[in-house]
Amino acid sequence: MSTQPSTSATAAPSGRTLEHPDRSAIRLEAVLHALSDPMRLRVVRALASHGSEMACSDVELDVSKSTCTHHFRVLREAGVISQIYRGTSKMNGLRRADLDMIFPGLLDSVLAAAEGEERRLGTAR
Amino acid sequence: MSTQPSTSATAAPSGRTLEHPDRSAIRLEAVLHALSDPMRLRVVRALASHGSEMACSDVELDVSKSTCTHHFRVLREAGVISQIYRGTSKMNGLRRADLDMIFPGLLDSVLAAAEGEERRLGTAR
DNA sequence: GTCGTAGTACGTCGCCTGTCAAACTACGAG
DNA sequence: CTCGTAGTTTGACAGGCGACGTACTACGAC
Work out the average pLDDT over A37-62: 90
Please indicate whether, in this complex, the C-beta atoms of B112 and A102 are within 8 angstroms of each other.
no
User: In this predicted model, what pLDDT tens digit does every residue of A65-118 receive, in sequence order?
Assistant: 999 999 999 999 999 999 999 888 999 999 999 999 999 999 999 999 999 999
Are B48 and A57 in contact, with CB atoms under 8 Å apart? Answer: no
Name the nucleotide nearest B65; use CA and C1': D7
Taking the CB of residue A25, how many other CB atoms lie within 10 A of it?
9
- CA proximity to B44, closest of B106, B86, B120, B101: B106
Residue A8 has pLDDT above 50, yes or no: no
For A104, A115, B15, B16, B124, the CA distances from A80, given in Å and listed in that order, are 14, 18, 46, 43, 22
Q: Which of B29, B36, B109 sits opposite A103 (nearest CB)?
A: B109
- CA proximity to B86, closest of B115, B122, B52, B54: B54
Label residues A43-65 b or e (16+ Cβ within 10 Å = b).
Answer: bbbbbbeeeebbebeebebeeee
Residue A54 has pLDDT above 80, yes or no: yes
pTM assigned to the model: 0.85
Query: Which of A37, A110, A115 is the best substitution to test chain B (most B C-beta atoms within 10 A)?
Result: A110
- pLDDT tens, residue order, chain B (125 aa): 443 333 333 444 555 788 899 999 999 999 999 999 999 999 999 999 988 889 998 888 889 999 999 999 999 999 999 999 988 899 999 999 999 999 999 999 999 999 999 998 876 55
> Smallest CA–CA separation between B111 and chain A, in Å?
10
Q: Which of B24, B27, B41 sits opposite A29 (nearest CB)?
A: B41
Give the mean pLDDT of chain A: 86
- CA proximity to A53, closest of A70, A35, A72: A72
Residue A51 has pLDDT above 50, yes or no: yes
Q: Residue A55: beta bridge partners?
A: A91
- CA proximity to A83, closest of A54, A62, A108: A54
Nucleotides of C under 7 A from a protein CB: 4-11, 17-23, 26-28
Which stretches of chain B sit within 8 Å of chain A by CB? Answer: 24, 27-30, 32-33, 35-38, 41, 102-106, 108-110, 112-114, 116-117, 120
Work out the average pLDDT over A17-34: 93
Please indicate whether, in this complex, the C-beta atoms of B28 and A103 are within 8 angstroms of each other.
no
- Look at B28 and A5; give whichever has higher pLDDT: B28
Quick one: which H or E segment has residue B50? helix B38-50
Residue A10 has pLDDT above 60, yes or no: no
